Chains A and B, each alone.
Chain A
């Protein structure tokens, strides 16, 4: 079979442990939701990578286009005062 007719592209997000954020793992092809979550499981969680999965149709993701990226992100470049770098983090905080 050729590269056409493999279904739509879905983006896969894996949660590695309870409480952790879901991280983008890659993408898969599938024809429907059930197939998408199962293909994600079979492709990306074969080696104990996760305890939970999200799949999202790639065409449903809204992204910033590269031509817009400078107007979106560069204004933050010269505003270092927005970083809370002058606070000491309590020892109990594991993730920040």
Chain B
């Protein structure tokens, strides 16, 4: 599999797996409006994933479809970051995971809209409108948690403390990422990290939240070494394609 296909899969898998986590909350939102809003984000993300999977399948040229890439790979072949697969614990946790990813997506897609790769450039420009809205929503929720009650602030800070160790992986380039840097297909994750840090600081200041002192980081997702949650998740995601191998939709 060439580097570009792997790089595409990193982008698509992040969107796909996070979208699935959000879809698990569908009909379980804290109230109707929030339920719809969260599901809207899940739909935006799966739309993004679908277009990138389809393009990756085309480049790969092995007669696979985008759906094959999404639903018919082994756990070790998924390249999403560990952060996206972390399970839904409580609402503060779900929103904090979303906030970290929204900030990342916002700056990542801003950078990749300058990529030398025509497809990624077009995809990023289209996605940025959606991502800008996602970021606006999750930022406001973080500020609302922090400025709300003792309990809401405490829950948000706990979520930040728990998820912090998965944020470093977002900015750790994989081998395919490094390989595509010279041709300016992939983007410099250091730039994304700098902007991500700034935005996090800004929102945390407004939300009275603090960055954890402990900066121990876990990585693995990008190289297929996932957390224990991933297998259960894939069992559910791939149930239909596993049971009905010729299923079409």
Binding site for B on A (CB under 8 A): 1, 6-7, 28-32, 34-35, 38-39, 42-43, 46
* Contact (A29, B140) CB under 8 Å given A42-B40, A46-B40: no
Cβ contacts A to B, 25 pairs, < 8 Å: A1-B30, A6-B32, A6-B33, A7-B31, A28-B33, A29-B32, A29-B33, A31-B144, A32-B144, A34-B140, A35-B140, A35-B144, A38-B37, A38-B136, A38-B137, A39-B33, A39-B34, A39-B36, A39-B37, A42-B33, A42-B36, A42-B40, A43-B32, A43-B33, A43-B36
Interface string of B138-176 (1 = CB under 8 A from A): 001000100000000000000000000000000000000
With CB as the reference atom, state the residue of chain B lying closest to A38: B137
Nearest chain A residue, comparing its CB with the CB of B39: A42
* Range, interface on chain B: 10 to 19
Q: How far is the CA of A56 from the CA of B53 in the complex (A)?
A: 42
> Which of chain A's residues have a CB closer than 8 A to the CB of B144?
31-32, 35
Given A35-B140, A38-B137, A46-B40 in contact, is the A30-B33 Cβ separation under 8 Å? yes
A42 to B130, CA, bound (A): 12
Q: How far is the CB of B207 from chain A (nearest CB, A)?
A: 14
* Secondary structure call for the A interface: mixed
- Could you tell me the distance between the alpha carbons of A35 and B36 in the complex, rounded to whole angstroms? 13
Residues of B within 8 A of A (CB): 30-34, 36-37, 40, 136-137, 140, 144
Shortest Cβ distance from residue A45 to the other chain B in the assembled complex, whole angstroms: 10
Q: With the chains together, A29 CA to B33 CA distance in Å?
A: 7
Who on chain A is nearest to B137 by CB?
A38
Complex Cα gap A39–B33 (Å):
6
Question: Which residues of A sit under 8 angstroms from B36, Cβ to Cβ?
Answer: 39, 42-43
Residue of A nearest to B32 (CB): A29
Given contacts A6-B33, A38-B136, A39-B37, 17 further A-B contacts (CB under 8 A): A1-B30, A1-B31, A6-B31, A7-B31, A29-B31, A29-B32, A29-B33, A31-B144, A35-B144, A38-B37, A39-B34, A39-B36, A42-B33, A42-B36, A42-B40, A43-B33, A43-B36
Instruction: Kindly state the separation between the CA atoms of A43 and B29 in the bound complex, as whole angstroms.
Output: 14
Residues of A within 8 A of B137 (CB): 38
Contact of A42 with B37 at beta-carbon distance under 8 Å, contacts A1-B30, A29-B31 already known: yes
How long is the Cα–Cα vector from A30 to B31 in the complex, in angstroms? 10
Q: Determine the distance from Cα of A38 to Cα of B144 in the docked complex, in whole angstroms.
A: 14
- What residues of A have a CB within 8 angstroms of the CB of B140 in the complex? 34-35, 38
Nearest chain B CB to A36's CB is how many angstroms away?
A: 9
- Please give me the residue from chain A that is nearest to B136 by CB atom: A38
Q: Chain B residues with Cβ under 8 A from A30's Cβ?
A: 33
How many Å lie between the Cα of A39 and that of B106 in the bound state? 21
Within 8 Å CB of B136, what residues of A? 38
Q: In the assembled complex, how far is the CB of residue A10 from the closest CB belonging to chain B, in whole angstroms?
A: 10
Question: Contacts of B32 on A, CB cut-off 8 Å?
Answer: 6, 29, 43
Q: Which residues of B contact A31 (CB under 8 A)?
A: 144
| B34: nearest chain-A partner, CB-CB | A39
A47 CB → nearest B CB, Å: 12
A82–chain B nearest beta-carbon distance, Å: 42
**Cα-based distance from A39 to B133 in the complex (angstroms):** 12
